Structure formats: C-alpha cells, structure tokens
Amino acid sequence: MNSNKPFGYRQRDQKLERILRGEDLETWYVNDINNRKQINDYSCRFLPEKLYPGLDNQLAITSYTEEAKILAEFMTMNSGLGNRSPIKGYKQHKLCQVCQKAGQNNRINEIHLLFECVSLKPAHIKYGTQAYKQKNAGTDSQSIYKKYWSDYKDENDLNERIKSADTIRNIYLDLVKRIHNRN
C-alpha cells in the first residue's frame, strides 16, 4: 500500500496525528481528561486528577445509594441550593438567602453552606463542620472543603460527613422556605 491516493485509512491516520499532536495515545488521553476537568473547573474541581489510563479515581462510594447521590452532588457543587438553577417553586438565588435576611450579601454555594455562613453557625457546631474548620485553621475555605471530602478515616466517617452536609443543606432550604413564606 504505497499509493499516494487519499484512502480513508490514510485520512483517519492523519486526523489522529493532528489530534494527538505528537503524543502517544495514553499521554494524550490522560491530558485530555484532565484538560476537560479544568475547562469545567468549577463543578469538577474537587474530583481527583487522572494519573494514567485505566485509573478511574472513582468517588469513595460508588453504589447507587442516597449517600452516593448526596456525595456526588456536593463533590460537583450541585446540591440544589438554588444558585445554579432555581429551587422548585422559587427564583434562582446567587446570594445566600439566610445571610441576605441578616443584611449580608454572600454568594451561596456548598463551601459557604458548610463552612462560612454565619447564620448557620449553630448547625455547623452541631454537625461538626465548625470543628473541622477549626482543626484546619489558617486554611482557606475552598481547601478545607476539598479536604473535608477527601481525608476521612473510613467509609463510616465519610457517611457521617455526608449526613451532616445533607442535614445542613436541609436546614438551609427550610430557612429559605420560611424567609419566602412557603411553610
């Protein structure tokens, strides 16, 4: 097959060479996955880096349970706080409704919910996120949040954190309902 005609296989090989940009397939694959993660950095920033092909770097809980669903929601910063899309029956809110009621304008997200919201401090104390933040004093909230979901002792410890995060989220959503007179 020494023909110079543009056969399909030759065109496909040329296209692959352009895509790979001189890298071997495995290196390109790892770099492409990590690049896609960076492009979607806000929602994927707490997901683990891919180090080599075949490494799935799965979330700690991979079963189809409610805990796994909640973990995925918090890891992808999409836990239904109303900041990315409206809470059913409400307008979309970019600011923490509880803080706004107290006269502060803080953006609502999962980091703020679990570690920064002054109005939720009693919940932070009761469910352990305040103690976790104090244990990591001097560290910014984003790093504390990432560590909160990655440095657990065992699956039971992780499940407790998931339950705490879910409970604090539900407290926040209940307060939002009260603020907007939707009891």
115/135 Cα distance (integer angstroms): 12
pTM of the model: 0.72
3-state helix, strand, coil in the chain (%, to 5): 55, 0, 45
The larger pLDDT score, comparing residue 39 to residue 125, is at 125
pLDDT of 52 above 80: no
What is the chain's length?
Answer: 183
Helix, strand, or coil (residue 95)? strand
Which tokens go with 153? 């002792």
Model confidence pLDDT, tens digit, residues 68-126: 888 888 988 889 898 887 777 778 889 999 999 999 999 999 999 999 999 999 999 99
pLDDT single digits (tens) 149-173: 988 888 899 999 999 999 999 999 9
